Amino acid sequence: MNMIIRNEKEKDYRAVEELTREAFWNLYVPGCEEHFILHNLRNSIDFIPELDFIAETEGRITGHIVCSRGIIKDKQGREKEVISFGPVSVLPAFQKQGIGSALISHTINIARAMGYPAICIYGDPRYYSRFGFRCAEKYEIKTADDKFAVALQVLELKQGVLNNMPGRFIESDAFRGDADKFVEFDSTFPYKEKAETESQREFRLLASLRY
């Protein structure tokens, strides 16, 4: 498979939003909102354009990853900047071919070279552990609403940078979009049927593992 990874350009935006919608449709919920989250991220001060990559396979855009700034905030109100990535999208016809893994590995390497201290994400630990991510509880890092969560994963890009830095991971406000604006935005895409799937039930179970 002849694949290249390059920075996303503004001319790619709509095609990547369509790709993201296809990749996540009915995956975690009936329909999806990831394409709207991506749209919001690009207009956010937390967007990191240097860590916004697409994968091209034989000249076709087949995958995408985007990064944004977040913080870990401790009980004294002190903040440490970290980054997060996602959505990570691969066209359904090209999934399970290593495209997503290549995008994640590439992003980790570039983020480390740029000097970012750590990456915090929400995801399935069975998948993300292969990249070195560990449950955030190991570092005493909780969700924004002060809960430990199995899905909250952390990767130190500098060894020991999160030692003695317990706190709450707070991601970009871009992940919390306006419902009416989402409906308006999604209406500009072709109609797709919403459905219940087994992957949604698995997602609900993983998301519920909070304490």
In a domain, 198, yes or no: yes
In a domain, 183, yes or no: no
pLDDT in tens, 22-68: 999 999 999 999 999 999 999 999 999 999 999 999 899 999 999 99
Neighbours of 157 (CB within 10 A): 20
The CATH number of residue 197's host domain is 3.40.630.30
| Alpha carbon of residue 129 to chain centroid | 15
In a domain, 167, yes or no: yes
* pLDDT mean over 193-205: 96
Looking at the structure of the chain, the number of domains it has is 1
- Please, what is the Cα angle at 202 between 197 and 208, to 5 degrees? 130
Averaged pLDDT of the chain: 96
Containing domain of residue 133, as a range?
3-172+193-208
* pLDDT mean over 90-111: 97
pLDDT of amino acid 177: 84
- What gap in Å lies between CA 47 and CA 37, rounded to an integer? 11
pLDDT in tens, 132-152: 999 999 999 999 999 999 999
* pLDDT mean over 82-96: 97
For the chain, strand residue ranges (E) read 3-7, 47-57, 60-73, 79-90, 118-122, 134-135, 141-142, 152-156, 167-170
In a domain, 200, yes or no: yes
* pLDDT mean over 101-116: 98
Model confidence at 165: pLDDT above 90: no
